[in-house]
Amino acid sequence: MLQGFDGLVAEAESADVSGWDFSWLQGRATEQRPSWGYQRLLSERLASVGAALDVQTGGGEVLAGAQRLPPTMAATESWPPNVALATARLHPRGVVVVADPDRPPLPFADEAFNLVTSRHPASVWWEEIARVLRPGGTYLAQHVGPESVRELYEFFLGPQPAGPHPRHPDRESAAARAAGFKVTTLRLERPRVEFFYVGAVVYFLRKVIWTVPDFTVERYRDRLRDLHEQIRRDGMFVAHSARVLIEAQLPR
């Protein structure tokens, strides 16, 4: 791995950021996992139902990690490179991958599924999720919570105003209840994130584009150089993500 600022940045700029696989960051950054183990919970729920839908599946990486899939399994994704990745990864396991525009309505009939899942959805359409679930059906998801990696985006953008956040667990649970769900699980954790190289930050900001929405290397080169020097001095840059586990059920 190149160690100079320009080499680290160039390496990260040339890396493929399609899909939702973060293996490129191995050895360059770490993130603690939430204590609940979403992959395990997902596998358990999928093994117990007859029909399920994974919304905003990305490249299908998380769904593909489930040990057993139900007889009817569908997934949606809006970004064309991810649709291609998810199709190649999930079709061999019998999953139908549907390209959709990432806005309502979901392209499925009423009461089509026993279970709807999603990991880190950009948006949550509670009324649509309720519509495609059968009575007694469940939504299980891990959401990105409020002010995730705040330390990182404020490094580039400066202090950001605090206030009611649209992804706060209380607001999301209220929206779920308004759509007819009973929220059975709601947990928030803030796992520690460590970046060991400035290139890891470049890669992360290229991939998770809403963190610093106007991010480009050229626009933030001076700030990136400051970050590089800080990491050299301190050994790492530390931030904290926000992860929310939510499980909600429709009445039978």
Q: What is the pLDDT of residues 62-93, one digit of tens each?
A: 999 999 999 999 999 999 999 999 999 999 99
The pLDDT, as a whole number, for residue 163 is 75
Domains and CATH numbers, the chain: 5-249 (3.40.50.150)
Q: How far is CA 222 from CA 29, 67, 83, 88, 218, in A?
A: 21, 46, 35, 40, 8
pTM of the model: 0.92
3-class DSSP state of 74:
strand
3-class DSSP state of 152:
helix
- Please give the average per-residue pLDDT across 89-109, as a whole number: 96
How confident is the model over 122-155, as pLDDT tens digits? 999 999 999 999 999 999 999 999 999 999 999 9
Please compute Rg for the chain using Cα positions: 19
Q: How far is CA 41 from the centre of its chain?
A: 16
Average pLDDT over the chain reads: 96
Residue 171 has pLDDT above 70, yes or no: yes
- Please give the average per-residue pLDDT across 239-245, as a whole number: 98
Q: How far is CA 235 from the centre of its chain?
A: 27
Residue 2 has pLDDT above 80, yes or no: no
